[in-house]
Amino acid sequence: MKLIATNDAATRLTGQNVLQLANDVDPSTLALDGVERIDLQFPKFTDGRAYSQAFLLRRRLGFQGELRATGDVLIDQLVQMQRSGFDSAVLRADQDTAAAEVQFSRFASFYQGDARTIAPLFARKSPPAAGPQ
């Protein structure tokens, strides 16, 4: 997942076809043809509706472009954001990007599937090779 500091120039619209979506909008009602990036809003860290929007966009609507988390984005949310289908996140101003990177190394894998990797862990692992007995 790409992490972006609030004051980074990458947070600005750069000529891409970007859709900024409020967290109370149903993504299934939108025309997504030609949309390259969708910015999903977290107005407060306690409001998780953008997780549902991201999952819906990835799994049910098949959106292949970038999903970016914006708003009140904290380090503690990043792993779940990635599992919900987000590609990037604009961190709240008081969050440290270096500390945020550590979150991804803490959780190497998950038993359950997620927005990108549908199969659970047991279905993804190859069976052990037969060795000497």
Q: What is the CATH number of the domain that holds 69?
A: 3.40.50
User: pLDDT per residue over 9-34, tens digit each?
Assistant: 455 656 679 999 999 999 999 999 99
128 lies in some domain: no
Nearest to 1 by CA among 118, 95, 84: 84
C-alpha torsion 58→106→49→86, nearest 10: -30
58 lies in some domain: yes
127 lies in some domain: no
Please state, in angstroms and rounded to a whole number, the distance separating the CA atoms of residues 99 and 36: 29
Number of domains in the chain: 1
Query: Could you tell me which residues come within 8 angstroms of residue 2 by beta carbon, excluding any fewer than 6 positions away?
Result: 87, 88, 89
User: pLDDT per residue over 61-76, tens digit each?
Assistant: 999 999 999 999 999 9
33 lies in some domain: yes
